[in-house]
Amino acid sequence: MQSLQTVARPEINLRVGSEGQSQDQSLDIETDSSVRLVQVQGVTKAFGVGPTALKALDNVSLTIRTNEFFTLLGPSGCGKTTLLRLLAGFEHPTEGAILLDNKHVVNDPPNKRPVNTVFQSYALFPHMSVEQNVAFGLERLGQRGPEVAERVAAMLKLVRLEALAKRRPSQLSGGQQQRVALARALAPQPRLLLLDEPLSALDLKLRRGMQVELKRIQRETGITFVLVTHDQEEALSMSDRIAVMDHGRVLQLGRPSDIYERPNCRFVADFIGEANVLPGSLFGFKAPYVAIRPERVLLSMKQDPENSGLPGHVVEVVYLGATTSCTVALQGGPLVKVERSDLPTGLVPDRPVICRFPHDALLPLES
Amino acid sequence: MAAQPRFRDRALLLAGPALLTIVIFMVLPMAIALVYSFMTASPYGGVEKPYTAGAYVRFVYDRDLDDSLVFDTTYLQIFARSLILAALTSLGCLLIGLPMAWYVATRRPVQRQILVLLVTIPFWTNLLIRTYCWVLLLRDQGLVNNVLLWLGLTKAPITFLYSDGAVLLGLIYSSLPFMVLPIYGALEKMDPRLVEAAYDLYADRWAIMRKLVWPLAKPGVAAGNLLVFVPALGAFLQPDILGGGKKLMIGSLIQQQFTTGRNWAFGAALSMILMAFVLGAMMWSAWRRAAIAVPV
Amino acid sequence: MRARVFDWRRMPEYRTISLLAFVFLYAPLIILIVYAFNANRAALIWGGFSTQWFVKAVLNDDLRRSALNSLIVAAIATPVSTLVAIPAALAFERGRFFPGRSTGEALIGMPLVAPEIVTAIATLIFFEAIGLRAGVGNIAIAHIVFCIPFALLPIRARLREMPRDIEDAARDLYADSWAVFSRVTLPLLMPAIVAGATLAFVVSLDDFLITFMVAPAGATTLPVYLYGMLRVGVTPEANAAATILLVISIAAVVLSSVLVRPRTVKA
């Protein structure tokens, strides 16, 4: 328990040496144990027993580093929330190990782990004031008196809710409740803060604001955040690293730019941003498929002499404001979506066009 | 779901006191009653050996003077009367309860809460008193007769009390909340847009009742029927007070065996037969519910 | 002709039936109360407002003794059944599955399902068989049994609608099992517990048939005493005594519904 209260400030700038390739990062982690905060090793979680058992997680291994903003991204039912609940201690893995600060924690109950959670529903205590909510964890840790009051005040200042300390949760707006939940989880200075789709209940504008806010708070507190979300934009804009999950497996783990620019499989290419997935043979690749982002496809009305593209005809044109989206049916069937601000004028359905695919924009996919 | 290790791991321990109380003071007594029903009545109350099925035989046969068994329908008739009265009570409650539940379910929230409370209050008030109120109304010098006399509709007081009709009235009166509340529970969840959609699709009010409200209300009706039928079948107070104890129902018959009748074995046997009817009704209802299960 | 605004709720016959049904439910009770306040002994002739029958009822020693017995029984049955119902509700709503759990749930609901007369004679036979003659204690034991499912109802309902996240959050914030229960679950459950206790109290106070069969000589409760009074004939004192019991029950039920409502609306 003592260790929970005196948490060393994590070092900053841990990533300096590994700015380059994503492959290097995993090497880094293997060698330098000081940056390994959480290690998930071969974790499987099955609900139910026997042949009807549902595998929510299937042999997942990953490492979360100190002071990073780590995101678990995937569609609903991909196992990301289960992984979060395993980290918090609400679930027990069927197989595998979880290490926090190089110590096995699988058998520690949630109240013995220096890990706090911001729940999707916020789960504020309705019978306590904002202040009492934030103080709850500190008091359970045995802190009393001015120490607690000081910490609570600091936390409420951090989330900019000083004025509402005496209110009950039911008297707050959704966004304010969210901040209370955040302050409450941060107050005991956990080693790890888990956020379960924290922004999903907020409207779009508030969500954008909170994204910036969360990032700021993570920077200011230096606490490691693990965010669960199904919103790829949210993941890309906030995270240091992202683990893309589907069907209980981690498909790709890397920095947002890696994930977006170098997806390793069809699912990731499709799920993160939009992608046209075409047969690899079309461009002379060995990989079965290649992906290309709609904004990287070039479209012209006439045959280009030096760089021959693929001919096709326009199927549909949709004006989107800043850009225009045009769907083209290539000869032989496959549909390609092009979304650019510089599309030629005069595109109407059935109009023959040429699509060109710059070689550096083609992303070969393994599966 | 591993969130509450305490409640999880100690579930049996936590439920223990309640389960133990029920097992010792409800299940065990029932079992003893079952044993008693297979014993011989002692003339001073209670039972004695030998073990015999005599009490059950007595239900359908009468022992003649020469000790031969004669088929006797006295008790069967009492059971039949009880079943018919209980069925009529269910029907009466349904006819009043369904419109009532619809009416309450379609009020505004505040009004609805008040109306639900108004339906609930009689349910929690003393059955004896509620039954007695009808004596005040129905007796020869009661309010109803006086009003009728005053209006000149009748020359002499009509004897309402101590009839099947009075018992049925008392049963419907005391059972009505049991029918209204479950139907209300089923209708309350109804999306008003369903009704609007039905009107939009050219349904008239009768069609809406038949095609929309009735199917939605059905699970509530099934639950209500059970809640009305079972207590009505074993009713004691209504036949005793409004039926004058002359026209017996099962409940009063059983009660007699333990007081004036002093035949505990027979009383226990009658109870077991009643219990069998009740379990039968419940299983039938559960089976029906599985068959008609309406996805909501 | 004035155009009628469309209202999907309009079912005129249903409205009429419902309003008549409410009159049907309450008219007899109101008439009882009116009779109880009638100064004239002949119930049908209004002799002016009077509380003399109440005074007479209260001054009746036997009636007072039976009322005291009723209160003693309810005062034992209410806390015992509620205290037993709270952990049972936690076990059924929050507990892990244990063998025989659904059977256990069915058993606890048994007093609601079995016809009262059967419960009554079974309890009578049981007390006779084990030779228990504890006077009012016998009645209290019988009452505890059928009060449990009533006390359980609102507590279970409240637990069911209470999101588990809240208890998870407490545990996440370093609360041990006892702290989760005492600081979060119990305070949030309190209105439901009060409601459950009130229902148990009312059911115990109102019970006639089981008490009537089980009560040993000399240990009557108010409803049983009233039954004897009513059998003799309609008297104004009986009306007054019945009115007192009626008003207590109604007050308790209204109180419990007021206690439960504001929380559920907010949640």
pLDDT in tens, B252-262: 889 888 888 78
State the Cα–Cα distance between residues A150 and A141, nearest whole angstrom.
15
C228-235 long-range contacts, Cβ below 8 Å, gap at least 24? C229/C63, C230/B128, C230/B132, C230/B135, C230/B241, C234/B135, C234/B136, C234/B139, C234/C43
pLDDT confidence of residue C241: 87
pLDDT confidence of residue C77: 95
- All chains having 3 or more CB pairs closer than 8 angstroms to chain B: A, C
Q: Tell me, yes or no, if A196 comes closer than 8 A to chain B by beta carbon.
A: no
Which segments of B14-146 are extended strands (E)?
40-41, 47-48, 61-63, 69-71
State the Cα–Cα distance between residues B247 and C209, nearest whole angstrom.
19
State the Cα–Cα distance between residues C201 and C252, nearest whole angstrom.
8
State the Cα–Cα distance between residues C110 and C146, nearest whole angstrom.
8
- Determine the straight-line distance between the first and last CA of chain B, rounded to whole angstroms: 26
Whether residue C166 and residue A116 make contact (CB cut-off 8 A), yes or no, is no
Q: Tell me, yes or no, if C230 comes closer than 8 A to chain B by beta carbon.
A: yes
pLDDT confidence of residue A168: 92
Instruction: Grade residue A3 by pLDDT with cuts at 50, 70 and 90.
Output: very low
Whether residue B33 and residue C122 make contact (CB cut-off 8 A), yes or no, is yes
Residue B100: its chain C contacts at CB < 8 A?
14, 17-18, 21
pLDDT confidence of residue B173: 94
Mean pLDDT of A189-209: 85
Task: Answer yes or no: is pLDDT of A29 > 70.
Answer: no
What rounded mean pLDDT belongs to chain A? 82
Task: Answer yes or no: is pLDDT of A7 > 50.
Answer: no
Q: What is the dihedral of CA B75, B78, B84, B90, to 10 degrees?
A: -110
Residue C184: its chain A contacts at CB < 8 A?
125
Angle between helices C136-161 and C186-206 (to 10 degrees): 140
Whether residue C169 and residue A188 make contact (CB cut-off 8 A), yes or no, is no
* 3-state DSSP assignment of residue B138: helix
Asked if CATH classification 1.10.3720.10 holds for the domain at C61-259, the reply, yes or no, is yes
Q: What is the dihedral of CA A94, A100, A104, A107, to 10 degrees?
A: -60
Instruction: Grade residue C183 by pLDDT with cuts at 50, 70 and 90.
Output: very high
Task: Answer yes or no: is pLDDT of A135 > 50.
Answer: yes
pLDDT in tens, C241-254: 889 888 888 888 88
Q: What is the DSSP string of A170-199?
A: GGS-HHHHHHHHHHHHHTT--SEEEEESTT
Instruction: Grade residue A9 by pLDDT with cuts at 50, 70 and 90.
Output: very low
Tokens of A118: 């911001």
Domain boundaries, chain C: 61-259
Instruction: Grade residue C73 by pLDDT with cuts at 50, 70 and 90.
Output: very high
Interface of B with C in 55-94 (CB under 8 A): none
CA distance, residue C184 to nearest chain A CA (Å): 7
Task: Answer yes or no: is pLDDT of A21 > 80.
Answer: no
CA distance, residue A46 to nearest chain B CA (Å): 13
* 3-state DSSP assignment of residue A286: coil
Q: Are strands A241-246 and A69-73 parallel, antiparallel or unpaired?
A: parallel
Mean pLDDT of C232-238: 81
Chain A / chain C CB contacts < 8 angstroms: 66
Alpha helix (H) residue ranges in chain A: 2-5, 22-31, 80-88, 130-140, 146-158, 174-186, 204-221, 232-238, 256-261, 266-271
Residue appearing with tokens 């695919």: A357
Whether residue B3 and residue A109 make contact (CB cut-off 8 A), yes or no, is no
pLDDT in tens, C92-122: 888 777 777 788 888 888 888 889 999 999 9
pLDDT confidence of residue B291: 65
Asked if CATH classification 2.40.110.10 holds for the domain at B84-291, the reply, yes or no, is no
pTM of this prediction?
Answer: 0.80
pLDDT confidence of residue C9: 64
Q: A197-206, B21-30, B100-109: which range is least confident on average?
A: A197-206
Question: Which of C168, C174, C179 faces A90 most closely, judged by CB atoms?
Answer: C168
Mean pLDDT of C187-216: 89
pLDDT confidence of residue B106: 85
Alpha helix (H) residue ranges in chain C: 12-36, 52-59, 61-94, 101-108, 110-113, 116-130, 136-161, 164-172, 177-179, 186-206, 209-214, 222-232, 236-266
Q: Which of B274, B267, B256, B245 is nearest to B79 (CA)?
A: B274
State the Cα–Cα distance between residues A356 and A363, nearest whole angstrom.
15
ipTM: 0.84
Task: Answer yes or no: is pLDDT of C80 > 90.
Answer: yes
Task: Answer yes or no: is pLDDT of B288 > 90.
Answer: no
Whether residue A90 and residue B2 make contact (CB cut-off 8 A), yes or no, is yes
Question: Which of A119, A126, A141 faces C174 most closely, judged by CB atoms?
Answer: A141
Residue C113: its chain B contacts at CB < 8 A?
230, 278, 282
Instruction: Grade residue B273 by pLDDT with cuts at 50, 70 and 90.
Output: very high
Question: Which of B11, B125, B255 faces C246 most closely, judged by CB atoms?
Answer: B125
Residues C17 and C23 sit within 8 Å (Cβ to Cβ): no
Instruction: Give the count of beta carbons closer than 10 Å to the beta carbon of residue C129.
Output: 16
Mean pLDDT of C130-148: 89
User: Count of residues for chain A?
Assistant: 367
Whether residue A91 and residue B5 make contact (CB cut-off 8 A), yes or no, is no
pLDDT confidence of residue C142: 93
Residues 6+ apart with CB under 8 A from C162: C188, C189, C267
pLDDT confidence of residue A267: 86
Q: Tell me, yes or no, if A183 comes closer than 8 A to chain C by beta carbon.
A: no
Residue B173: its chain C contacts at CB < 8 A?
24-25, 28
Most confident range, picked from A175-189, A312-326, C52-66: A175-189
pLDDT confidence of residue C120: 93
Q: What is the DSSP string of C115-183?
A: -HHHHHHHHHHHHHHHT---THHHHHHHHHHHHHHHHHHHHHHHHHHS-HHHHHHHHHTT--HHHIIII
State the Cα–Cα distance between residues B190 and B105, nearest whole angstrom.
9
Q: Which of A163, A193, A197 is nearest to A178 (CA)?
A: A197
State the Cα–Cα distance between residues A71 and A62, nearest whole angstrom.
12
Instruction: Give the count of beta carbons closer than 10 Å to the beta carbon of residue B260.
Output: 8
Which segments of chain B are extended strands (E)?
40-41, 47-48, 61-63, 69-71
Instruction: Grade residue A304 by pLDDT with cuts at 50, 70 and 90.
Output: low
pLDDT in tens, A37-60: 888 888 888 887 777 778 888 888
Q: Tell me, yes or no, if C160 comes closer than 8 A to chain B by beta carbon.
A: no
Whether residue C115 and residue B6 make contact (CB cut-off 8 A), yes or no, is no
Q: Tell me, yes or no, if C133 comes closer than 8 A to chain B by beta carbon.
A: no
Name the residue type at position B126.
Answer: N
Question: Which of C85, C117, C250 faces B18 most closely, judged by CB atoms?
Answer: C85
pLDDT in tens, B218-272: 888 888 888 899 889 888 988 888 888 677 888 888 988 888 878 888 889 999 9
State the Cα–Cα distance between residues A259 and A269, nearest whole angstrom.
8
Q: What is the CA radius of gyration of chain A?
A: 24
Residue C209: its chain B contacts at CB < 8 A?
236-237
Q: What is the side-by-side order of every strand in the sheet holding A115-118?
A: A115-118, A192-196, A224-229, A69-73, A241-246, A249-254
Most confident range, picked from A284-288, B9-13, B152-156, C207-211: C207-211
State the Cα–Cα distance between residues B146 and C23, nearest whole angstrom.
19
pLDDT in tens, B145-188: 888 888 888 788 888 888 888 899 999 999 999 999 999 988 88
pLDDT in tens, A307-330: 667 888 888 888 888 888 888 888
Whether residue B5 and residue A109 make contact (CB cut-off 8 A), yes or no, is yes
- Helix H or strand E encompassing B255: helix B250-258
Residue B5: its chain C contacts at CB < 8 A?
177
Tokens of B242: 């409004």
State the Cα–Cα distance between residues B128 and B242, nearest whole angstrom.
11
Whether residue B192 and residue C8 make contact (CB cut-off 8 A), yes or no, is yes
pLDDT confidence of residue B4: 42
Residue B113: its chain C contacts at CB < 8 A?
261
Name the residue type at position A267.
Answer: F
pLDDT confidence of residue B68: 75
Residue B199: its chain C contacts at CB < 8 A?
6, 8
Instruction: Give the count of beta carbons closer than 10 Å to the beta carbon of residue A352.
Output: 13
pLDDT in tens, A72-121: 998 888 888 888 999 988 988 888 888 888 888 888 888 888 899 999 88
Task: Answer yes or no: is pLDDT of C136 > 80.
Answer: yes
Establish whether the linkage from the previous residue to B50 is cis, with ω within 30° of 0: yes
Whether residue B126 and residue C245 make contact (CB cut-off 8 A), yes or no, is yes
